[in-house]
Amino acid sequence: MSDIFYDIETKELLDQNATDPDAAIRTLHMSVGATWCECHGEQFFHNTGELAEHLLLHERIIGFSIKHFDNAVLAWSPERPVRESFDPITGKHKIEKPLPDAPEDLKKMLDARCFDLLADLEARLGHRVSLAALAEGSLGKQKMASGPQAVVWNRLAATLRDRWPYALTDVGDQEGAQRVNELGRWFQERLEQYCMADALLVKKLFEYGIANKRVAYIDFEGERRVVKVQWR
């Protein structure tokens, strides 16, 4: 069985007061996606179509809140891989689109083979639990960063990379242009490392759940609580 673990970060933060949260999620844009699988190792994606296609090469897609969140962001993004090929026998150009255009159809394809740790835990507990609380309770680990930090890092990386080097070069400051470029790359790397760290955190939590047949989380009162799981 080939499993792939994944997580994405978005360019905007989800509005917690949105009247229709599902609709709000569909308007978010991915900044970076990180995957880990035994067959391909660690991979980063900046295009949702390429990420969805890569995920669907695997039998099972594992993540945290991916059914509700990540899969929806991918499906409602209009990006789809397109391949053009030339058939020398018929003399015709062929256009191949491996993923469906309709968001609902792509969402179904992703959901059909996904295992969502949050959805599973929510069904057992009757309430949601955060990845940070599970990481601390089960693995004794802190999350490296937070969603809001990732949003700001992405904005900084984009602005520093796309705007300021040109402005500085225009006014003859080559060294300044190089420095902001480097700083932009540094924020980009931090963002990507965080995204990968979360994908790998889900992997560790999943493996912990299989080995121990339970996971633990820290509740809002600071108590460690244990929940039995049947993951495999």
Positions touching Zn ion (CB under 5 A) are 37, 39-40
Q: E-strand spans in 51-125?
A: 60-63, 83-87, 92-96, 114-116
Cα-trace Rg, the chain: 20
CB of 89 to Zn ion, least distance (A): 33
Eight-class DSSP state of 66: I
Tell me which H or E stretch contains 45.
Answer: strand 41-45
CB of 36 to Zn ion, least distance (A): 9
Structural contact between residues 177 and 169, judged by C-beta atoms closer than 8 angstroms: yes
Q: Tell me the closest approach of the beta carbon of residue 40 to Zn ion, in angstroms.
A: 4
Beta carbon of residue 53, minimum distance to Zn ion (angstroms, whole number): 12
The tally of CA atoms less than 13 A away on the side-chain side of residue 143 is 18
For Zn ion, which is the closer residue by CB, 40 or 46? 40
Closer CB to Zn ion, residue 43 or residue 47? 43
Rounded to a whole number of angstroms, the minimum distance from the CB of residue 70 to Zn ion is 17
Q: In this structure, are residues 131 and 202 in contact, taking their beta carbons and an 8 Å threshold? A: yes
Beta-strand relationship, 60-63 and 3-10: parallel
Select 5 or 217, whichever has its Cβ closest to Zn ion.
5
Q: Which is nearer to Zn ion, 38 or 84 (CB)?
A: 38
CB nearer to Zn ion: pick between 39 and 112: 39
